[in-house]
């Protein structure tokens, strides 16, 4: 069987400096549209002040995850990069959280746990067009 590679992208908007944005439904629709039945999927943001993570979309937990970022990557904490810009915290967070997550594809859908939603992590918002690239490789 021939290899298939499906790539599509969409954008999301943010309204806060640090914000989790649930993109699970959008990713699942693209995987369905790809008609790829089994393989791998990458969810990737081509940005240096954003990231991707997966976890439960419960409002308290979303706040906890945003708080974790603010505590561990504090704004304006004497960064060298802030001498020429004002977003070193966002860059450092993006580098260490990571700008992609990978998922297996089986029976034409993402393999994921019940509480494993996919979030874009905005680290330097508000922005109105953060790109999200979904690339599926399989058959």
Q: Is 15 in the site for a copy of itself (CB under 8 A)?
A: no
* 137 touches a copy of itself by CB under 8 A: yes
Site string for a copy of itself, 74-113 (x = CB under 8 A): -----xxxxxx---x--xx-xxxxxxxxxxxxx----xxx
Contact 39, 109 (CB under 8 A): no
What minimum distance in Å lies between the beta carbon of 15 and a copy of itself? 19
The reply on whether position 127 binds a copy of itself by CB under 8 A is no
Residues 32-51 that bind a copy of itself (CB under 8 A): 38-40, 42, 44-48
> How many angstroms separate the CA atoms of 103 and 53, rounded?
12
H-helix or E-strand spanning residue 68:
helix 59-72
Phi and psi at 78, nearest 5°, equal 75, 25
The three-state secondary structure class of 59 is helix
Footprint on residues 55-74 left by a copy of itself (CB under 8 A): 55-56, 58-61, 63-65, 68, 72
Torsion of CA 116, 19, 61, 114, to 10 degrees: -10
Alpha carbon 43 to chain centroid distance?
Answer: 7
Instruction: Check residue 53 and report its DSSP letter.
Output: E
Closest distance between a copy of itself and the C-beta of residue 38, in Å? 5
What residues make contact with a copy of itself under the rule CB under 8 A?
1-3, 5, 7, 38-40, 42, 44-48, 53-56, 58-61, 63-65, 68, 72, 79-84, 88, 91-92, 94-106, 111-116, 133, 135, 137-139
């Amino acid at each position: 069987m021939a290899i298939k590679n499906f790539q599509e992208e969409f954008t999301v908007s943010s309204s806060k400096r640090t914000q989790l944005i649930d993109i699970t439904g959008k990713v699942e629709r693209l995987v369905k549209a790809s008609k790829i039945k089994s393989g791998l999927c990458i969810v990737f943001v081509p940005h240096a002040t954003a990231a991707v993570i997966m976890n439960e979309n419960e409002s308290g937990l979303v706040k906890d995850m945003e708080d974790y970022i603010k505590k561990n990557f504090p704004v304006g904490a004497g960064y060298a990069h802030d001498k020429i810009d004002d977003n070193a915290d966002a860059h450092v967070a993006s580098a260490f959280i990571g700008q992609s997550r990978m998922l297996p594809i089986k029976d034409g859908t993402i393999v994921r746990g019940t509480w494993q939603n996919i979030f874009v992590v905005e680290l330097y918002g508000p922005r109105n067009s953060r790109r999200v690239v979904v690339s599926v490789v399989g058959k």
